[in-house]
């Protein structure tokens, strides 16, 4: 059984592409351009679209833009997908059809000129913990297991993704480079990344290692490597213990690292590079959504230019 068949199987009919290539094999070659969760996500998106096309007797490789518009309506009204999910699924199809075009499997990309649903961003919604909340979370973690304290410090201070934190080994957490102790791991996209450890994080890591010389850095209570799901449970439990009365996730700690740096007036370019974003626009989009520090708001400058009347 192939990896594709073991997760989200691509419907078998029709079994081949217009040039006689097995359809499932073609999709497998497409998704293997990526790895990990991205590969699984793209495979799931394609499997869902193929099932919808087969149900409505639509040839995937001759689909028209109007078919894609109906598919988006199906996602919204029957599957109740939000705008972000719909845009993600269509984004997968856009990439897929670009490859199909290059392989002469279709004559045009039907996702072009689609009117995608708008994502409404609540500019008032906090995407990160504020200083008091983060300090309370750290205090709660410090009184818990060393592994859990290290998890909070690694994500909340160094800004690692939860999958990156859970992948760390003892050996890859003790590397030295230019007088700095570094984490080394495989980041999103498959590249090797190194992130320095400030003294507070080094102290937390040493407590978690506790004299070990190999094996996973972060362990569950049963001694096995901490997983994303286990880390999420830890973060939620510690947030509750810290008295934080709103939903807290692992990725919010990465947001917290970014926003804490921003509030400390670290240049956005440095924050972007520290988070290992390929483009600074990603940093602005996700970590600077309408945020203006209160004491830096332009209204203060405007008020300083106004000759105020005597209201006495």
**Tens of pLDDT, residues 31-89:** 999 887 889 999 999 999 999 999 999 999 999 999 999 999 999 999 999 998 999 99
Measured between alpha carbons, how far is 228 from 40 in angstroms, rounded to an integer?
16
Coil vs helix vs strand at 176: strand
As a whole number of Å, the end-to-end CA separation of the chain is 84
181-225 residue pLDDT tens: 999 998 887 789 999 999 999 999 999 999 999 999 999 999 999
What angle (nearest 5°) sits at the alpha carbon of residue 109, between those of residues 106 and 112?
Answer: 165
Q: Quick one: DSSP state of residue 144?
A: S
Half-sphere exposure of 57 (CA within 13 A, CB side): 0
Coil vs helix vs strand at 75: helix
Which of the four pLDDT bands, split at 50, 70 and 90, describes residue 312? low
The two three-digit tokens of residue 64, written as one number: 């028209």
Asked if pLDDT for residue 304 goes beyond 50, the answer is yes
As a whole-number percent, the residues of the chain with pLDDT over 90 amount to 62
Residue closest to 145 by CA, chosen among 202, 200, 213, 208:
208
Residues 258 and 282 sit within 8 Å (Cβ to Cβ): no
- Give the pLDDT score at 80: 94
Residue closest to 288 by CA, chosen among 303, 307, 269:
269
Coil vs helix vs strand at 191: coil
Question: Averaging pLDDT over each range in 189-203, 228-242, 244-258, 284-298, which range is the top one?
Answer: 228-242
**Whole-prediction pTM value?**
0.67
CB 93: neighbour CB atoms within 10 A? 22
Which of the four pLDDT bands, split at 50, 70 and 90, describes residue 11? low
Which of the four pLDDT bands, split at 50, 70 and 90, describes residue 5? very low
Residues 27 and 44 sit within 8 Å (Cβ to Cβ): no
Residues 266 and 234 sit within 8 Å (Cβ to Cβ): no
Residues 261 and 274 sit within 8 Å (Cβ to Cβ): yes
Asked if pLDDT for residue 288 goes beyond 60, the answer is no
Q: Hey, what long-range contacts does 57-60 have (CB within 8 A, 24 or more apart)?
A: 59/14, 60/23
Q: What average pLDDT does the structure give for the chain?
A: 86
Task: For the chain, list the domains and their CATH numbers.
Answer: 3-102 (no CATH), 131-291 (1.10.443.10)
- Give the pLDDT score at 112: 94
Strands (DSSP E) along the chain, which ranges? Answer: 175-177, 180-186, 192-196
For residue 14, whether the previous peptide bond is cis, meaning omega lies within 30 degrees of 0, is: yes
Which of the four pLDDT bands, split at 50, 70 and 90, describes residue 263? confident
170-181 residue pLDDT tens: 999 999 988 899
Ordered strands of the 192-196 beta sheet: 175-177, 180-186, 192-196
Asked if pLDDT for residue 260 goes beyond 60, the answer is yes
- Give the pLDDT score at 38: 87
Would you give the distance in Å from CA 99 to the centre of its chain?
Answer: 24
- Give the pLDDT score at 191: 84
Coil vs helix vs strand at 109: coil
Q: For the residues 258-287, what does the mean pLDDT come to?
A: 78
Asked if pLDDT for residue 273 goes beyond 70, the answer is yes
Measured between alpha carbons, how far is 305 from 303 in angstroms, rounded to an integer?
5
């Amino acid at each position: 059984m192939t990896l594709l068949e073991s997760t989200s199987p691509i419907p078998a009919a029709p079994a081949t592409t217009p040039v006689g290539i097995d359809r499932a094999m073609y999709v497998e070659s497409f998704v293997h351009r990526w790895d990990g969760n991205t590969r699984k996500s793209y495979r799931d998106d394609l499997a869902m679209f193929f099932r919808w096309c087969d149900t409505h007797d639509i040839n995937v490789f001759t689909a028209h833009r109007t078919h894609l518009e109906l598919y988006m309506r199906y996602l919204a009204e029957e599957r109740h997908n939000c705008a972000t999910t719909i845009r993600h699924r269509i984004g997968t199809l856009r990439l897929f059809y670009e490859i199909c075009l290059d392989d002469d499997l279709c004559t045009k990309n039907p996702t072009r000129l689609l009117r995608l649903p708008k994502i409404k961003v609540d500019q008032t919604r906090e995407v990160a913990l504020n200083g008091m909340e983060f300090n309370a979370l750290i205090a709660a973690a410090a009184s818990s297991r060393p592994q859990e304290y290290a998890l909070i410090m690694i994500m909340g201070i160094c800004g690692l993704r939860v999958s990156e934190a859970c992948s760390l080994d003892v050996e890859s957490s003790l590397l030295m480079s230019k007088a700095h102790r570094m984490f080394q791991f495989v980041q999103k996209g498959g590249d090797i990344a190194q992130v320095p450890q400030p003294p507070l994080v080094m102290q937390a890591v040493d407590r978690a290692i506790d004299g070990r010389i190999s094996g996973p850095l972060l362990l569950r209570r049963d001694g096995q490597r901490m997983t994303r799901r286990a880390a999420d449970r830890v973060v939620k439990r510690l947030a509750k213990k810290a008295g934080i009365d709103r939903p807290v996730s692992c990725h919010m700690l990465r947001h917290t690292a970014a926003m804490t740096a921003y509030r400390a007036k670290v240049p956005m370019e440095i924050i972007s590079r520290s988070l290992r974003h390929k483009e600074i626009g990603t940093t602005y989009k996700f970590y600077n959504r309408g945020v203006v520090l209160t004491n830096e708001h332009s209204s203060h400058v405007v008020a300083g230019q106004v000759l105020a009347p005597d209201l006495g």
